[in-house]
Amino acid sequence: MEKIRVGIIGVGGIARMIHIPGYQKSQDSIITAICDTDDETLAKAAKLYNIPEKRCFKDYRDIIACDEVDAVDICTPNYLHCRIANEAIAHGKPFSVEKPVGMDYKETLDLYENAKRSNVPAVVCFSWRYRPYVRYMKNIVDSGEIGDLYHVYIRCIKNSGLIPGRKLEWRFDKDLAATGVLGDLSSHMFDITRFLGEEFKSVVADMGILVKERQRINSDEIGEVTTDDWCNILAKMESGTNITYQISRCATTIDDWIQVELYGKNGILLYKYWNGDQTIEIDVKKSGRQTLVPPPEFQAEQSQAFIDHINGKNDGLTALLEDGVKCQSVLDAALKSHETGRWVDIFEITQQGEK
């Protein structure tokens, strides 16, 4: 089989850290072109990944139109995701898009419908699905070992918003990012919840901004932060399970703490990610408490999953645009709840009206 020739759009942090190494490991793909509006970033990436100048682009329309690109991977700030993805659809090129897919539910739904109409394959980078511990946790929940879930507590907190001197990058600007940690971190946690088999019914949310000002990127001027850096969400699921989410990037001394606590009818499952170390523990009534390590078959790779999807070899665990749409409905509901101070049914977002 011919290798899929991939063009990367936006060669910033996540592209260099996760996406590009994934394609480099894949036997089925090759990165043939890159695109970035920032000259220095583009030149650095061209050198690092050995991409000839003729296939280094500044305009996403040019990389999408390039004959030596079969599929694109969209790793730009959020406000560009759908615009670029719709252009890929216009050229019939499969795409992988970072999360959150869109700026709101309508934009995301329109993209989904356009891709479906045009029959263009697409995946969403809910990268937590490719972590072996998360896949293993899903396997245990699906097996019924801990039983139907009574309630779930999910925490995702880090101190990345407190890094000294961190500037007013796109993440802190509502017009470019839509939301802060809600879209950035909760989207992964909402997707994990759905990955474990739950669907959202309604949410109530509170959020706020602790670091209110930052220095602008290319000047000494101070600008206003307009996206949330913490949020707390309660969710009722269709199954009757209730879930509590605690999300922050102002967790003073903690680099990265993600904890998923599942309380089921037969026992509990605890997943903890603490500054790079991970553990999973199970405590079920019949066999007691054990620490578990995911077997090798739970290894997965996001970039390979995109290529497999294009090649018709989806394992059923890859997040698709419909997962992006579902997640977006929960993000919009959480935002609406914060604005109105009440519970919001997901139905209000998906039907665009109050129940």
Ligand X SMILES: NC(=O)c1ccc[n+]([C@@H]2O[C@H](COP(=O)([O-])OP(=O)(O)OC[C@H]3O[C@@H](n4cnc5c(N)ncnc54)[C@H](O)[C@@H]3O)[C@@H](O)[C@H]2O)c1
Q: Of the two residues 2 and 53, which places its CB atom closer to ligand X in the complex?
A: 53
Q: Could you tell me which of 234, 229, 228, 230 has the C-alpha nearest to residue 154?
A: 234
Question: Which of residues 13, 52, 144, 295 is near ligand X by CB under 6 A?
Answer: 13
Decide: is 176 part of the binding site for ligand X (CB under 6 A): no
Q: Of the two residues 183 and 267, which places its CB atom closer to ligand X in the complex?
A: 183
Question: What residues contact 135, with CB distance under 8 A and at least 6 apart?
Answer: 129, 294, 298, 300, 317
CA–CA distance, 27 with 139 (Å, rounded to integer): 27
Decide: is 132 part of the binding site for ligand X (CB under 6 A): no
Matching residue, tokens 């474990």 = 196
Please give the single-letter amino acid code of residue 280: I
CA dist 46 to 32, 41, 237, Å? 10, 9, 46
Decide: is 19 part of the binding site for ligand X (CB under 6 A): no
CA–CA distance, 13 with 25 (Å, rounded to integer): 18
Decide: is 161 part of the binding site for ligand X (CB under 6 A): no
Decide: is 129 part of the binding site for ligand X (CB under 6 A): no
Decide: is 99 part of the binding site for ligand X (CB under 6 A): yes
CA–CA distance, 209 with 225 (Å, rounded to integer): 8
Question: Which of residues 5, 30, 41, 314 is near ligand X by CB under 6 A?
Answer: 41
Question: Which of residues 28, 30, 37, 259 is near ligand X by CB under 6 A?
Answer: 37
Question: Which of residues 73, 107, 184, 198 is near ligand X by CB under 6 A?
Answer: 184
Q: Of the two residues 158 and 201, which places its CB atom closer to ligand X in the complex?
A: 158
Decide: is 256 part of the binding site for ligand X (CB under 6 A): no
- Least CB distance to ligand X at residue 319 (A): 10
Please give the single-letter amino acid code of residue 131: R
DSSP 320: B
- Least CB distance to ligand X at residue 228 (A): 14
Decide: is 14 part of the binding site for ligand X (CB under 6 A): yes
